[in-house]
Amino acid sequence: MATKKKVSKTTVGKKTKVHKVRASLDIPELSKAGSSLQLHIFNADGKLGTLVIGQGSLTWFAKSKQIGKKRSWSAFADWMGTK
């Protein structure tokens, strides 16, 4: 079982970074089904969740959830207020 890592705050100039993002990319062929980019999002308290970006949609998994919230790119564009 994975252990929880503590994320430390780092200072850049006068601003303090409070979030950290790790990416894992496994794309043998970009157009293949199942290929995606996973972004693991952290703050000072630990992992917030994982954002999985695929060709047809994006899915958010909260830190301890196995079922994610899936949105199509069209729904995401509507949510962001663009078309």
| pLDDT for 30 | 56
Residue 1 confidence class, pLDDT cut points 50, 70, 90:
very low
pTM of the prediction?
0.64
Measured distance CA(16)–CA(9) in Å, rounded: 7
Cα distances from 49 to residues 15, 19, 29, 62, 65, in angstroms, run 24, 12, 26, 4, 8
Structure tokens at 25: 């990319």
Q: Which residues pair with 40 in a beta bridge?
A: 22, 50
| pLDDT for 10 | 56
Measured distance CA(65)–CA(45) in Å, rounded: 17
Q: Domain-by-domain residue ranges, the chain?
A: 18-27+34-80
Mean pLDDT, residues 4-16: 59
| pLDDT for 67 | 92
